[in-house]
Chain A
Amino acid sequence: MTIYNLYVFDRNGTCLYYESWNRRKESNMSKDEEFKLMYGMLYSIKSFVARMSPSESKDGFLNYRTSKYKLHFYETPTGLKFIMNTDLSVGTTRDVLFNIYSKIYVEYVVKNPLCRLDEPIQSELFASKLDTYIRSLNIFN
């Protein structure tokens, strides 16, 4: 099991944070373009799922998998989006993404008055806490 990378988007589509751990293939475009493509894809998937759904859904889109990786999606009611790519053997990671939000993002970004909420996260403390948390997960290695 392994975790490839993590994206954090705010509700306007700004990529607040990106980190990769075991990524084996870089897309042949700039990071900025990649973030836009990723956000655009998620936005479309969300509306696709809302329209396709045969009954009412609460959380909507949860994850998708291809032949090589699995993308996990978690959105807070405020529109913050956490996206994690892992390999196929990983089950649900809702609790992991929720913990990143509640125990790391809220603690080290929202509670830090020097962090602007609509800009990419600069805080080193956030980065190191997140890295420690991700590396401590048993789905990481």
Chain B
Amino acid sequence: MAIFSVYILNRAGGLIYHYDHFTPKSEIEKTFSYPLDITLREDDKLVVIFGERDGIKVGHALLAVNGEPVTGKRLPDGREAMEVIKNQENYPISLKFGRLKLTTNERIMLASMFHPLYAISAKLSPEQRSSGIEVLEADSFKLHCFQTHTGLKFIVLTDPKQLGMDIFLKKIYELYSDFALKNPFYSLDMPIRCELFDTNLQKALDQSERSNLYSSNPSLA
């Protein structure tokens, strides 16, 4: 039971706010002997493409070699990480793999990607007067989206079992109206940088998680 993150999109699909509440840990460090039984693909970073083992999954990126962080494809001393991995003399070697965190640019891209998906899902509806995607379910998370009459979209990513999100989305809308819109320094459709909004949103998130815990587990109530 968890709320992962909150996104707010403006009318044009631009990301104006995002907040990460909870990110599941997925970093695995292991010592390997030569030859490496994991296939890595080289583009701008090193990503596992074959050979899942011990919790290392396809899609994980190489984060560190012998404790030294990998930035892009290079180690702090400028060596190519791939060269180090290919060289038998460097073994045994300790590699750390994990999911890469989304960068701000990627988030903006994903947000503007959701915008047309919402529109197409309404267009492809087999029933009259359908809205766009309200809830999207995947096996690892659930996305809840609420579009206001003014076209603003509030998106919350949660655990698949999380309940009561429609109320929570309306609550964020209320917070947005109270703390972002009433802020005289806030211009419409621009990123929200407002401390009051941040603190109140965090409070609402904690509250929502707690109330959910109680409703799903009567012994705690």
A: which residues have CB within 8 A of B?
4-5, 20, 22-25, 27, 34, 37-38, 40-41, 44-45, 48-69, 71, 85, 87
Contacts and interface: CB of A to CB of B under 8 A. Distances in A.
A56 B128 contact: no
Nearest to A60: B138
A68 B131 contact: yes
Interface residues of B, number: 39
B204 interface: no
A25 B139 contact: no
Interface of B: 4-5, 23-24, 26, 57, 59, 99, 102, 106, 110, 113-114, 116-117, 120-141, 143, 157
Given A45-B117, A48-B114, A25 B137 contact: no
Contacts of B135: 64-65
A138 B35 CA distance: 55
Contact of A62 (B113, B122, B139, B157): B139
Contact of A37 (B24, B123, B129, B131): B123
7 contacts: A49-B136, A55-B140, A56-B99, A63-B137, A67-B131, A69-B125, A69-B130
Nearest to B7: A52
Contacts of B130: 66-69
B117 A44 contact: yes
B71 to A, nearest CB: 20
A53 B131 contact: no
Given A51-B106, A52-B157, A65 B124 contact: no
Q: Rank and list the top 3 A-B pairs by shortest CB-CB distance, nearest first.
A: A4-B126, A68-B130, A57-B140
Given A54-B23, A66-B122, A60 B127 contact: no
Contact of B126 (A44, A51, A62, A85): A85
Given A51-B110, A66-B125, A57 B134 contact: no
A84 to B, nearest CB: 10
A56 B138 contact: no
A64 B4 contact: no
Given A56-B57, A66-B122, A45 B136 contact: yes
Contacts of B59: 50, 56
Contacts of B129: 68
B19 to A, nearest CB: 13
B134 A67 contact: yes
A67 to B, nearest CB: 4
B117 A41 contact: yes
